[in-house]
Amino acid sequence: MVAFALTPPPQVHLDITGTEEKFPVRRIYCIGKNYVAHIIEMNADERDPPVVFMKPTDAIVRNGGEIPYPVLTNNFHYECELVVALKSGGYHIPVAEAASHIYGYAIGLDMTRRDHQAAALEKGLPWEVTKAFDHSAPIGPITRASDCGILTSGHVRLKVNGETRQDADISLMIWKVDEIIAKLSEQHRLMPGDIIMTGTPAGVGAVVTGDVLDCSMDGVQPMQLRIGPKAS
């Protein structure tokens, strides 16, 4: 028998704007199909309750980083969206109390192997292969709610090589942030350190090696990343 020591992976942290402190990430919850225009462009029907999936915490890429073009795809897509960071949680959180659990906000990217998503949707298969791969969750620095307030409006924007591809107000979400938190807490015990990617507006599209992505949200620190060579 070969003996070896298992070293636990390091805790994943996000920067917090205006402080040297770090936000320790516990889980990444993601919401799909949360803007009508995006549902239309994906030729899908509205769903109730929200579509929920997850990404591993070690898929996070920080501001200024590089996203390797993933293996197993020839159609690599960006999806820019508002990210919500929680300071507390629990089961069965009422909508009226949801905002009290919010620590802050960031801008994020739900990177997607689009060619595999179509097959998964057609066959009713899980989304892990299309959503939960390495480097699939770029997230910018967190802006504390105590600094920016509780966000109910503001534009999510994404530029690829300086050209605007996505630009929509979060007020157009089908499920608002408070409702998302309440819905998630029906099935999961939300905890401090959980983050929620709230869904992307219309304008998703493919990127290739060398592309530069600039992501922003009104009131929140922006994020810039580059698509790197194919992963190996």
> Could you give the 3-state DSSP secondary structure of residue 8?
coil
DSSP β-ladder status, 212-217 and 220-230:
antiparallel
Distance CA 130, CA 148 (A): 33
The pTM score is 0.92
Helices (H) and strands (E) in the chain, counts: 5, 18
Can you give the pLDDT of all 232 residues of the chain as single tens digits? 556 667 878 899 999 999 999 999 999 999 988 987 656 665 566 556 788 999 999 999 999 999 999 998 999 999 999 999 999 999 999 999 999 999 999 999 999 999 888 777 777 777 788 999 999 999 999 999 999 999 999 999 999 999 999 999 999 999 999 999 999 999 999 999 999 999 999 999 999 999 999 999 999 999 999 999 998 8
Per-residue pLDDT at 168: 96
Chain length of the chain: 232
Per-residue pLDDT at 7: 81
> Could you give the 3-state DSSP secondary structure of residue 205?
strand
Per-residue pLDDT at 133: 95
Per-residue pLDDT at 41: 62
Instruction: State CA 177 to chain mean position distance.
Output: 13
